[in-house]
């Protein structure tokens, strides 16, 4: 003989308890997302490439905004921090676009560290050196991982379609994906001379050079010209083309 439990006895139908005792008895021993990611990174890359003592896992926040705010408070309360230490933000490309400004706004000296750049590192290649690995500096890049990431970004992420071939190029060359988040800049070249003003479209032998750069100084360096000649910044290449 079997008995059926009524619907109101199902665990999901239990009334929530908002007493102090319930709060105090909450499961604080369970691992946070940050702790799990930290353990996975250390386990995957391992010593001497990654030291768990050099990774701070902030475990209380539930949003990116809280993560930035809590981290700022934690650093202020630690005497070993002067307050201007450079901090790496590790997340995916499409989330970095939103997260990076939030951490900057919180007054933190941050640098982007892209999960995609880490995922393509071949931690085992130094031992086996397969032909599928693309050598980039001292650390081999796993070609299969590059393919998987590019396949992932073939569809829009975070409401934006990223340049998949540019992602492939940067990952293959072992370069940071940070460039994909930079604003666009351009210069106009007429007969081999950089044109700062005027109407270049009316002149002959006119060309325009575009680049993505962190700021005006970086753009001038990449375009090999003086800062006064550079136009920008523009959020997209299409906006830069329209001038």
Q: What is the pLDDT of residue 38?
A: 84
CB 120 within 8 A of CB 149: yes
Q: What is the pLDDT of residue 235?
A: 84
**Mean local confidence (pLDDT), 78-99:** 83
Work out the burial of residue 50: count CB atoms within 10 Å of its CB; fewer than 13 is exposed, 13-18 middle, 19 or more buried.
middle
Q: How far apart are CA 84 and CA 220, in angstroms?
A: 27
Q: What is the pLDDT of residue 128?
A: 45
- What is the percent of the chain with per-residue pLDDT over 70, rounded to a whole number? 70
pLDDT band at 69; cut points 50, 70, 90? very high
Q: What is the pLDDT of residue 165?
A: 94
Cis peptide before 233 (omega within 30 of 0): yes
pLDDT at 45 over 80: no
As a whole number of Å, the end-to-end CA separation of the chain is 79
**3-class DSSP state for residue 183?**
coil
pLDDT tens-digit profile of 193-233?
555 555 545 445 567 888 888 889 988 998 888 898 899 99
pLDDT tens-digit profile of 92-118?
999 998 999 999 899 888 889 999 998
Q: What is the DSSP letter of 7?
A: G
130: which 2 tokens? 């397969």
The β-bridge relationship of strands 193-195 and 139-142 is unpaired
Chain centre distance of CA 93: 4
Q: What is the pLDDT of residue 59?
A: 84
Of 39-48, 116-125, 134-143, 180-189, the one with minimum mean pLDDT is 134-143
Q: What is the pLDDT of residue 203?
A: 44
Length in residues, the chain: 243
Q: What is the pLDDT of residue 127?
A: 45
Q: What is the pLDDT of residue 233?
A: 92
Of 47-61, 86-100, 122-136, 149-163, the one with minimum mean pLDDT is 122-136
**Mean local confidence (pLDDT), 108-131:** 72
The β-bridge relationship of strands 193-195 and 133-136 is unpaired
Of 4-8, 18-22, 82-86, 92-96, the one with minimum mean pLDDT is 4-8
pLDDT band at 126; cut points 50, 70, 90? very low
Q: What is the pLDDT of residue 92?
A: 93
* pLDDT, the chain, mean: 78
In degrees, to the nearest 5, what angle opens at C-alpha 13 toward C-alphas 9 and 16? 120
| Full DSSP string of 126-182 | HHH--TTEEEETTEEEEHHHHHHHHHHTTS-BTTB---HHHHHHHHHTT--GGGGGS
């Amino acid at each position: 003989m079997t008995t059926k439990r009524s619907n109101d006895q199902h665990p999901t139908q239990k009334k929530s308890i908002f007493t102090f005792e319930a709060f105090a008895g909450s499961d604080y021993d369970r691992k946070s997302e940050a702790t799990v990611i930290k353990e996975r990174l250390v386990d995957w890359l391992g010593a001497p490439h990654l030291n768990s003592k050099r990774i701070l896992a902030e475990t209380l926040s539930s949003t990116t905004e809280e993560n930035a705010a809590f981290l700022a408070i934690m650093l202020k309360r630690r005497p070993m921090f002067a307050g201007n230490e450079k901090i790496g933000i590790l997340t995916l490309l499409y989330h970095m676009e939103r997260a990076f400004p939030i951490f900057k706004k919180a007054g933190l000296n941050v640098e982007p560290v892209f999960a995609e750049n880490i995922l393509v590192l071949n931690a085992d290649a130094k031992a086996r050196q397969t032909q599928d690995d693309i050598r980039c500096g001292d650390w081999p890049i796993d070609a299969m991982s590059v393919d998987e990431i590019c396949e992932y970004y073939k569809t829009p992420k975070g409401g934006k379609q990223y340049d998949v071939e540019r992602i492939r190029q940067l990952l293959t060359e072992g370069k940071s994906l940070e460039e994909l988040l930079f604003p666009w800049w351009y210069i106009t070249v007429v007969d081999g001379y950089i044109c700062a003003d005027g109407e270049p479209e009316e002149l002959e032998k006119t060309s325009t050079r575009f680049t993505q750069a962190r700021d005006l100084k970086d753009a001038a360096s990449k375009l090999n010209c003086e800062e006064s000649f550079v136009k920008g910044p523009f959020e997209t290449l299409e906006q830069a083309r329209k001038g």
